[in-house]
């Protein structure tokens, strides 16, 4: 029974689950702020008079609780809409943290190349290569376990297999199965014909493990470079529950080569009927720049510190307020610091080019894993 459990851990379903977790962790904080498919809790503009508390999640998370074990591969492929339709909810607060109204809306990923590439990873070149190798490795497992062995010996076999497959340093003292697996694999290596027609001449199992790691890295780099294009619509109420504001926005992100850096373009049209002079206003805000990953956790390859350099343009089309410019251009820098696995502190610094004003904004973001 223990061997059956071990063999099941090599399944393609398990591959999808493990790789999705790893790809989620590889996402930059900038990407997660644009679209996150689990649950995201954000507090924005803590240093400003108008603050907010936001909660974002997808229909997929709501309906399935992201339990991939209970969803067939066919359902995953057909659930693109559910995975890419995000529900947005926001509570608006004033400078004293008093309730000012509620905002609600949605974000839909019109293009989400990372999502499509992730769920099809097991069907791509890496999944096919891995399946060929695992089939051969399971033959080695079966031969070594063909004779009656004790539960302790089976645990040693599983431990040796895990260490070898994960390409980690191991101590063979007290565990003879490291050498036995390595020797037994030599008789099986010749039977492996990888999916791209490339067959390794080496019979050393470590060469095959390293080859698969290279293929995986290549596929991961491709996923990091996929584009994301979202469209969002939101409506807000005042303290009396009446709608007084709506907005339509769009975000486009595109990875650059293998660096993990991103092109970032955003635009928002807003209609606001809740101003000091009680006049409806129509505004546009656009941003464009580059997001750079300056520091990564080398062991897990996750982003820890990011800087985004961008320009911002704001235009008031209707009912400009007294002492307000109808056009504002700023040069911005956004810093994201990862304090924990899913806890980020985004800090925005804006420099008003025309008026030489320097402004700062502090946000907090927590992305629930799952």
Question: What is the secondary structure of 24-47 as a DSSP string?
Answer: HHHS-HHHHHH--SSEEEEEE-TT
pLDDT reading at 74 higher than 60 = no
CA 316 to chain centre: 34
Residues in the chain, how many?
Answer: 370
Residue pLDDT, tens place only, 120-141: 777 788 888 888 888 889 888 8
Mean pLDDT, residues 103-116 taken together: 89
* Tokens found for residue 52: 């907010």
pLDDT reading at 5 higher than 50 = no
C-alpha–C-alpha distance, residues 192 and 76, integer Å: 30
Q: What is the pTM of this model?
A: 0.77
Segment holding 51, helix H or strand E? strand 51-58
Q: What is the CA radius of gyration of the chain?
A: 26
Query: Nearest CA to 154 among 42, 14, 7, 321?
Result: 7
Confidence at 105, pLDDT banded by 50, 70, 90? very high
Position 8 scores a pLDDT of 35
CB 266 within 8 A of CB 308: no
Where does 46-112+230-368 sit in CATH, by number? 2.40.160.40
Confidence at 200, pLDDT banded by 50, 70, 90? confident
Q: Is 175 left (phi over 0), alpha (psi -120 to 50) or beta?
A: beta
Confidence at 16, pLDDT banded by 50, 70, 90? low
* Tokens found for residue 50: 């108008």
C-alpha–C-alpha distance, residues 160 and 355, integer Å: 66
DSSP secondary structure string for all residues of 224-257: HT-EEEEEEEEEEE-TTS-EEEEEEEEEEEEE-T
Give the start-to-end residue ranges of the domains of the chain.
46-112+230-368
> Long-range CB contacts (< 8 A, 24+ apart) of 138-144?
138/7, 138/10, 139/188, 139/191, 140/181, 140/184, 140/185, 140/188, 141/3, 141/6, 141/7, 143/184, 144/177, 144/180, 144/181, 144/184
Residue pLDDT, tens place only, 324-342: 888 999 999 988 888 776 6
Taking CA atoms, 13 is separated from 127, 150, 177, 271, in Å, by 11, 29, 27, 46
Residue pLDDT, tens place only, 245-269: 899 999 999 988 777 789 999 999 9
């Amino acid at each position: 029974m223990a061997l059956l459990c071990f063999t099941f851990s090599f399944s393609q379903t398990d591959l999808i689950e493990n790789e999705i977790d790893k790809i989620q962790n590889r996402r930059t904080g900038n990407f997660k702020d644009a679209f996150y498919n689990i649950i995201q809790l954000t507090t924005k503009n803590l240093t400003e008079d108008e603050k907010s508390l936001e909660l974002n999640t997808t229909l997929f998370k709501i309906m399935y609780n992201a339990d991939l074990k209970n969803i067939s591969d066919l359902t995953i492929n057909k659930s693109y809409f559910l995975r890419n339709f995000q529900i947005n909810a926001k509570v608006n607060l004033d400078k004293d943290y008093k309730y000012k109204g509620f905002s609600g809306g949605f974000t839909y990923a019109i293009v989400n190349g990372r999502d499509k590439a992730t769920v099809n990873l097991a069907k791509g070149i890496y999944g096919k290569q891995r399946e060929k190798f695992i089939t051969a490795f399971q033959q080695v497992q079966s031969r070594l376990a063909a004779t009656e062995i004790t539960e302790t010996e089976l645990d040693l076999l599983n431990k040796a297999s895990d260490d070898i497959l994960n390409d980690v340093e191991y101590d063979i003292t007290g565990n003879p199965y490291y050498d036995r697996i390595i020797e037994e694999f030599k008789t099986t290596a010749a039977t492996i014909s990888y999916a791209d027609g490339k067959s390794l001449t080496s019979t050393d199992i470590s060469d095959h493990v390293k080859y698969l790691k290279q293929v995986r890295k290549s596929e991961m780099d491709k996923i990091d470079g996929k584009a994301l294009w979202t469209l969002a619509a939101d409506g807000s109420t005042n303290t009396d529950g009446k709608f007084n504001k709506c907005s339509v926005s769009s975000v486009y992100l595109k990875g650059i080569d293998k660096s993990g850096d991103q092109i970032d373009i955003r635009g928002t049209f807003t209609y606001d009927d809740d101003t000091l002079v009680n006049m409806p206003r129509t505004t546009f805000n656009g941003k464009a720049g580059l997001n750079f990953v300056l520091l990564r956790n080398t062991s897990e390859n996750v982003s820890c510190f990011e800087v985004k350099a961008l320009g911002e343009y704001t235009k008031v089309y209707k009912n400009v307020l007294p002492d307000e410019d109808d056009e504002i251009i700023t040069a911005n820098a956004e810093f994201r610091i990862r304090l924990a696995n899913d806890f980020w502190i985004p800090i925005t610094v804006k420099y008003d080019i025309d008026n030489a004003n320097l402004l700062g904004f502090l946000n907090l973001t927590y992305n629930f894993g799952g």
